[in-house]
Structure 1
Amino acid sequence: MATPTRTIPIVSAACGPSEDKIQMRSITGVFTRWRWAMVWLTQALFYGLPWLTMHGRQAVLFDLQADRFFLFGAVLYPQDLIYLAGLLVISALLLFFATTLAGRVWCGFACPQTVYTELFQWIEHRTEGDRQARLRLDRSPWNGQKLLRRGGKHLAWALLALWTGFTLVGYFTPIRELAQAVPHQLGPWESFWIGFYGLATYGNAGFLRESVCQHMCPYGRFQGSLMDASTLYVAYDERRGEPRAPRPRGSDPVQRGSGACVDCTLCVQVCPVGIDIRQGLQAACISCGLCIDACNQVMDKLRAPRGLIRLASERELSHAGMPALTLRAHLGRRRVIVYGGLIVLASTLMALSFIHRPTLRLNAVRDRAVLARQVENGAVENVYRLQLMNASERARDVQVDVAGADGLSLTAPARVHLAAAGAHMQTVTLRLPPEQARVLAGQVLPIRIGIAGTDGHAIEHAETSSTFMVPR
């Protein structure tokens, strides 16, 4: 019988304030390797993408000054921000999907706060030593060695933070031009944003660290509503672990009247947010799995089975002897199917819309200064300003045409050359012959203004609606 769906209670309190700041102990294991793999993957993308070129320009560039966004050969205008909304919706659904399956894994492996904190802590480990050395350094008085180690750490932090800010600005200002402008020709806005984002990275990853996860991030507060009794999360098997007591290697805890946990506290020492996973699922837990790596190493040394701390569900932990759900059973849960289906649907619709988006765009605005004018022999003219946009990486030649009332025509052929990823304002005049003007006097006629490519490539057409005013 299927397990009823319900939300998981989560302890909101992390560990209380302590005399020392949290100093993580270094650990190795499966989850540690996965964390570093995500660090390398995300940062290779972030730092590397601005340096890629395509069609002679930066492959990913958000040119706010020109109101154009270049994305691997695609040219987007502000009118295309609907795709950003779609991307945000898909990202939210992916977050819900991942949380339903395995809790707060996004926070533990790919969140920017986690990634940069990991990088900053790696620098700290290299400059100040392991956990015990850092704790001793924290308590020691200021001297030459402490000043050198702390100064070296903060210098490396500042350089990484500034490089991060420089890279972010490189998505909005061509990064090669930005690099050539550093430091003397850098503009005021570029300087401000490099400094601002660099300072934010320096402060969040270097000082706030776990406080962002514990107090500032709202995700930890509502993740319980996305989880049910079958959701996997980093859990301590209390049935097996309690009561805690130290024991010799290879001894049987059952014969000694104790649990498998030897109360070594390594699970607390490796935790990035400083919680004790043995207190149950907590809002501050980011599901990084480092406590699993630490506990498994201790179990290996004690020649005891692994899995005292593991990825498990409340369903598995609350019923002795109940087997863990298979991957197929996890993916077949109702919530997972709903979120997965919505992701597939939204991604498909967005992809189809993006692929078939028009590369020729046209907007028509009536000349407000002259709504309508009568010229020789009683003919009537209206003047329009056309905004033509070329959302492709090749130049286009287009022809303007008009449809509507009989006899309505352009006063002169309007052939326009559009540069690659270019926009152009073109003034055109439409004329209605005297005979039709007398018959239609005083009316407002609906018309269609269109453009069509004439450069021999695939024929593409764009049009917009407007009105033609005939004076009395």
Structure 2
Amino acid sequence: MQPENENKLARQAEQDGSSRKKAVHSQASVIQIHPAGERIHPKKAEGRFAKLRILAVLATQFVFYVIPWFNWSGRQAVLFDIPDRHFYIFGLSLGMGDLIYLALLLMICAFGLFWWTTIAGRLWCGYSCPQTVYTEIMLWIDNLVEGDRNKRLKLEKAPWNFEKIRIKATKYLLIFLFCAWTGITFAGWFNPIREFVPALFTFNAGGGAIFAAAFYGFVTFFFAHIMREKVCLHMCPYARFQSAMFDKDTLIISYDVERGELRGARKKNVDPKEAGLGDCINCAMCVQVCPVGIDIRNGLQYQCIGCAACIDACDEIMDKMNYPRGLIRYTTEGALEHEYEEKDIKKRLKRPRVAGYGAVLAVVVIAFLVGISHRKMVEVDILKDRGVMVRENSKGWLENAYNLRIINNSEREQVLTASVSGFEDIALTGLPEDGIKIAPRETVTVPVQVSTIPEYADKGSHPLQFTFRYHESGAEEQTVITEDAVFIGE
């Protein structure tokens, strides 16, 4: 019986040791940096990824704030002119008949995001999402005026006095100016900004443009300053359905449990292996810098936006402790489970999900490019005049009336001529013989008449074909368009 008792004691000791390990881990996990329901004040992170975030903010905001001021061929380079139903993207001019191309552009953005997410996780969220970018700018203002996290927390608890009012007033003045200019710039994407800004300050701007500027400015203030992380936690749908695009080979931010556990404080010169500890000293700096207030050591969480602030904070601590960097790092679940090396990029790219999204994205991009390259610069819609089905003209011929809606999608004046066929004797009137000139980006409606000998057009409808030829003013090369119509007989 003695061996049995010894085995029982050994198993009991093993269980006790395991329980102690779980207790240490549990105690380390419940450190609460951001009390529930209170505003999160993340500590400013510094490091290589923080610098990348700064570059991403500057790049995205350069596009947003500066691009509308560029000119292209005598007009704003990028302008979504909703009142005139025309969109300009540098050399690309799209009218209402080109909405298919705008739809393709949106599909390219959507599938591009899906494809990128499958490969790189939420890097878009962490570096380029407007919510993240504007929140980052608000945190810059907080740090500039109120100081880093500890100073902000101290200020929040301080009683209201002149100093606190001065600091808060300065911060909110800067936030107001930023949000106001953001709203004005947003409206400038839909109204010529070089005209809108002077008109705004001289009180001559249109009501719709002013409303758009005020609305977007308020939304920026509300989401980026008031709501902040709550948008990512509770409102953003992307955080919810991203799991459908994730697998164990998707790039995520992860805490290396094998290397980090057991957690515990220690002196710098203590060997963690001899102390029975992992590399994590349980400083909770990764939690303090997190803009959404999560503890990355608890595993992958949908709230994580992939900003890598925790990586910078942890790397800084590892440097101070003379430990290798990478306790928290960009990696994949497959790499953490030692299924392959972290540097094996080919393994991560050779996946059906990546190939599927990539194939769809390639098809949409090709469809867009082919469609744009074969797009007609001039479009003609033939509308039958329902008020005049058939009548007899002065020559005794039967006549039908039509309206030609001519759309010039190009940036140059176009000259259009027309002819019609369908009967042996047929005439088209209403258009000048030398053609009609259509100004750039203009839509005109021209009434025309088609007539033929009564013997040819008995009762009922008869097929017609209009042939339109157009060319740029001063050019000789012509483009031909054919459109079908019907002629109503007597």
Q: TM-score, normalised by structure 1?
A: 0.93
User: For residue 432 of structure 1, what is the aligned residue in structure 2?
Assistant: 452
User: For residue 187 of structure 2, what is the aligned residue in structure 1?
Assistant: 169
Residue of 456, 459, 462 corresponding to 2:478: 459
1:469 correspondence with 2:474: no
- Matched to 1:387, the amino acid is R
Secondary structure in structure 2 of the residue aligned to 1:438? coil
User: For residue 210 of structure 2, what is the aligned residue in structure 1?
Assistant: 191
User: For residue 278 of structure 2, what is the aligned residue in structure 1?
Assistant: 259
User: For residue 260 of structure 2, what is the aligned residue in structure 1?
Assistant: 241
Secondary structure in structure 1 of the residue aligned to 2:125? helix
State the 1:66 CA deviation: 1.4
Residues 439 and 347 of structure 1: CA distance in aligned 2, closer, same or farther (over 3 Å): closer
State the 1:438 CA deviation: 1.7
User: For residue 458 of structure 2, what is the aligned residue in structure 1?
Assistant: 441
- Matched to 1:446, the amino acid is P
Secondary structure in structure 2 of the residue aligned to 1:224? helix
User: For residue 344 of structure 1, what is the aligned residue in structure 2?
Assistant: 362
User: For residue 287 of structure 2, what is the aligned residue in structure 1?
Assistant: 268
Structure 1, unaligned runs of 5 or more: 1-13
Residues 211 and 409 of structure 1: CA distance in aligned 2, closer, same or farther (over 3 Å): same
Q: Greater relative contact order: 1 or 2 (C-alpha under 8 angstroms, separation 6 or more)?
A: 1
Residues 331 and 361 of structure 1: CA distance in aligned 2, closer, same or farther (over 3 Å): same
Determine if contact 2:457/2:488 at 8 Å carries over to the other structure.
no
Residues 412 and 135 of structure 1: CA distance in aligned 2, closer, same or farther (over 3 Å): closer
Determine if contact 2:138/2:224 at 8 Å carries over to the other structure.
yes
User: For residue 10 of structure 1, what is the aligned residue in structure 2?
Assistant: none
Determine if contact 2:391/2:400 at 8 Å carries over to the other structure.
yes
Distance in 1 (alpha carbons) for counterparts of 2:430 and 2:135:
64
State the 1:134 CA deviation: 0.3
Determine if contact 2:33/2:287 at 8 Å carries over to the other structure.
no
User: For residue 389 of structure 1, what is the aligned residue in structure 2?
Assistant: 407
State the 1:450 CA deviation: 3.0
List aligned pairs for 1:248-397, cutoff 5 A: 248-319=267-338, 323-376=341-394, 378-397=396-415
User: For residue 220 of structure 1, what is the aligned residue in structure 2?
Assistant: 239
Distance in 2 (alpha carbons) for counterparts of 1:65 and 1:322:
56
- Matched to 1:286, the amino acid is I
Secondary structure in structure 2 of the residue aligned to 1:428? strand
Q: Greater shift after overlay, 247-256 or 159-168? A: 247-256
State the 1:151 CA deviation: 0.9
* Cα distance per residue 1:33-85 (max 9 Å; x no partner): 11111111111001111111111111111111112112213221112111122
Distance in 1 (alpha carbons) for counterparts of 2:254 and 2:142:
29
Distance in 1 (alpha carbons) for counterparts of 2:468 and 2:348:
53
Distance in 1 (alpha carbons) for counterparts of 2:96 and 2:70:
23
Identity of aligned pairs, percent?
39
List aligned pairs for 1:397-412, cutoff 5 A: 397-411=415-429
State the 1:412 CA deviation: 5.3
Distance in 2 (alpha carbons) for counterparts of 1:345 and 1:322:
31
State the 1:316 CA deviation: 2.1
Distance in 2 (alpha carbons) for counterparts of 1:278 and 1:416:
71
Determine if contact 2:185/2:193 at 8 Å carries over to the other structure.
yes
* Cα distance per residue 1:332-379 (max 9 Å; x no partner): 222112222222221121112112211011001111211110134531
User: For residue 421 of structure 1, what is the aligned residue in structure 2?
Assistant: 441
Determine if contact 2:182/2:216 at 8 Å carries over to the other structure.
yes
State the 1:266 CA deviation: 0.6
Q: Which structure's CA Rg is the greater one?
A: 2
Determine if contact 1:392/1:420 at 8 Å carries over to the other structure.
yes
Distance in 1 (alpha carbons) for counterparts of 2:223 and 2:125:
15
Distance in 1 (alpha carbons) for counterparts of 2:151 and 2:366:
53
Structure 1 vs Structure 2 CA RMSD? 1.7
Residues 17 and 84 of structure 1: CA distance in aligned 2, closer, same or farther (over 3 Å): farther
User: For residue 66 of structure 1, what is the aligned residue in structure 2?
Assistant: 84
State the 1:179 CA deviation: 1.0
User: For residue 57 of structure 1, what is the aligned residue in structure 2?
Assistant: 75
* Cα distance per residue 1:356-413 (max 9 Å; x no partner): 2110110011112111101345311111111111111111111121122221221355
Q: Greater shift after overlay, 305-314 or 73-82? A: 73-82
Secondary structure in structure 1 of the residue aligned to 2:455? helix
User: For residue 93 of structure 1, what is the aligned residue in structure 2?
Assistant: 111
Secondary structure in structure 1 of the residue aligned to 2:406? strand
1:109 correspondence with 2:127: yes
Q: TM-score, normalised by structure 2?
A: 0.89
Determine if contact 1:361/1:390 at 8 Å carries over to the other structure.
yes
User: For residue 6 of structure 2, what is the aligned residue in structure 1?
Assistant: none
Q: Greater shift after overlay, 97-106 or 202-211? A: 97-106
Q: Greater shift after overlay, 341-350 or 252-261? A: 341-350
Distance in 2 (alpha carbons) for counterparts of 1:128 and 1:222:
37
Distance in 1 (alpha carbons) for counterparts of 2:34 and 2:399:
78
State the 1:15 CA deviation: 8.8
